[in-house]
Structure 1
């Protein structure tokens, strides 16, 4: 996974949603993958929620160019036998790094690194996961940077516990399915989360860990708000949504724009398939929309296969109707039905399709 993908992942995942699922997303955002008090107790130093950085932590500059040599960095992999089986075959997401002065470089890669190991808790004990972080920090970084990393991890664990407590707020059951109420609750939840993060982390760490996520959150709230407005035309809503999109940091603006374009392309292609009178026409329409020839041929071949199946299924249904009027005993009828399946459908796949369609036609 490259640096851009990692940035996009943390910024986009928590808030990719639509109005019907906003309410559920409030709890996803508030929980922020907390692991409970057991994690904090397993940390090597006491947690604190003061507004100043942990003693000994000196945030390094956030922007480190990809071509800048990094003297100290944790490895990319845990090897062939990681401590948790779920990590087998994966590279470590994120890393811990230190500059030439031996100071910890705090960026989004740091948070990704913490989460990669913390997400194994439950599969392994909190102590095991934390010990892996501690070991890699001590083996890969200067002593001072390793201490800074563990102090920052301790603060991050305390933040996760505090964010869990934020999720324990009461809701109005009578209004929980109201989109306006969902949006109101989401705004309040994100505001509370921002305040908690600013209280628990230094300005530099807050910027490094949460800037992209919060920028996308603000954008999502703005666009949801626009969609709920009744005094705006569809054109005005689209214009305002695009204006908000242009305010996003470039790295997630590109991703958001690509997602929208791909969604539009998908809808156009589905419409082309629906409007086509034949598989060959569907292929022509897809090529006009920019689908490459190989993919268009695959779609045409599949549609032709389904078209042939539909014809065979009609003949099969006619043969079944004759069975229904034959007065056969149930056992004999089943035997004859299986014979007809093999007679009309020459592959196991098409026979399975036929059984599924028959079951579907019997559903109330």
Structure 2
């Protein structure tokens, strides 16, 4: 199973990699393939990196998790879309840019929308998708423009404000709040913390006070989001200690279920099993690799590389083969 961690990216973490996370969009633009063309057979399925995962936001759409309907809209028979869930769905598929073309990804999203939205909602969702892709493309151009500016003009805050201004050209206030409100709060908090850390006029005590004030102002959901990884680390440290004491899978499951819930404990148990199976496959591969190299000790390097490539092809799929370098001596 491929794990996909759904993280809210902070500006501080992005740093020199670029505020807008659009590096993979380089080379794509309006001159690319026409999304109205039929998809090629090899691109009818999602990218390999999505294997074993569920589309973000899809469950809410399938459950018709719509925003409350304004009275006037309800009387007209229309409905307000779950913009936040749609953005998560868009981002899930758009994360494969580089593996697939934008037009192919767009067709996949359109198919999912058609299968899961009410007919009256579909045109609105498709227009939102078109605007979202246009916005992401415009972000790339904005980032490229900022790369040409002087260092003083390329501050993270200036880029963040420019991004917000650009975004207003594509989305109304309701859409913006639902799609980006939480990300904005997270980014503004990260910006404030970065500016405090870099302010040479503040003493260490002043910095601690200001950071503590930011902690108090942080929305509850962001505070929980930030604390969640630490809680997981503490739990897994507890699990490691239990295993060191001889605890079995049942005891580990009960400890996780108590700290989280039974569903999460079940998923973690599945990951444990998958990790054990992966380690067994790696150990077997490394043993066979060693024997192959010993057998071919006097052979040309090209013959050794071909033998190893055949071994890898027989044991692992394309994505798994990319991980092998981390295990090979």
| TM bucket normalised to smaller | 0.5 to 0.7
Aligned residue among 133, 141, 151 for 1:157:
133
2-structure distance, mates of 1:260, 1:88: 28
* Number of aligned residues: 220
Deviation at residue 145 of structure 1 after TM alignment:
0.5
TM-score, reference length from structure 2:
0.56
**Alpha-carbon contact 1:43-1:154 (below 8 Å) kept:** no
Match of 2:223 in 1: 253
* 1:234 equivalenced with 2:204 (yes/no): yes
Deviation of 1:89 (Å): 0.9
CA distance in 2, matches of 1:40, 1:146: 25
- The structure with higher relative contact order (CA 8 Å, sep 6+) is 1
**Alpha-carbon spacing, 1:41–1:144, altered in 2? closer, same or farther (3 Å):** farther
1:266-305 Cα offsets, whole Å, 9 max, x none, are xxxxxxxxxxxxxxxxxxxxxxxxx649628959xxxxxx
The CA distance in 1 between the partners of 2:230 and 2:224, in whole Å, is 10
Structure 2 distance, partners of 1:39, 1:115, is: 22
- Specify the alignment match of 1:72 in structure 2: none
| Rounded Cα–Cα distance in structure 1 between residues aligned with 2:35 and 2:24 | 17
> C-alpha separation between the residues in 1 aligned to 2:120 and 2:144?
38
Distance, in Å, in 1 between the alignment partners of 2:160 and 2:148 is 18
Distance between the aligned counterparts of 2:244 and 2:31, measured in 1?
Answer: 51
Structure 2 matches for 1:1-364, cutoff 5 A? 9=7, 12-17=8-13, 22=15, 24-25=16-17, 27-29=18-20, 31=22, 34=25, 36-38=28-30, 42=34, 82-95=45-58, 96=61, 98=64, 99=66, 103-169=79-145, 181=152, 185-257=155-227, 292=238, 295=241, 298=244
Aligned residues of 1:107 and 1:209 also touching (Cα < 8 A): yes
In the alignment, structure 2 segments of 5+ residues that lack a partner are 37-43, 67-73, 246-329
Cα pair distance change 1:292/1:86, threshold 3 Å: closer
Q: Deviations over 1:324-364 (max 9, x none)?
A: xxxxxxxxxxxxxxxxxxxxxxxxxxxxxxxxxxxxxxxxx
Cα RMSD (Å) of the superposition?
3.7
Cα distance, 1:227–1:261 mapped onto 2, change above 3 Å: farther
* Structure 2 contact 35–106 (Cα < 8 Å) conserved: yes
- The CA deviation at 1:126 is 3.0
Gaps of at least 5 residues in structure 1 are: 45-80, 266-290, 300-364
- 1:221 and 1:111 map into 2 onto residues whose CA distance is 23
Q: Which moved more, 1:143-152 or 1:96-105?
A: 96-105
Instruction: Report the Cα distance in structure 2 between the residues aligned to 1:298 and 1:39, rounded to whole angstroms.
Output: 58
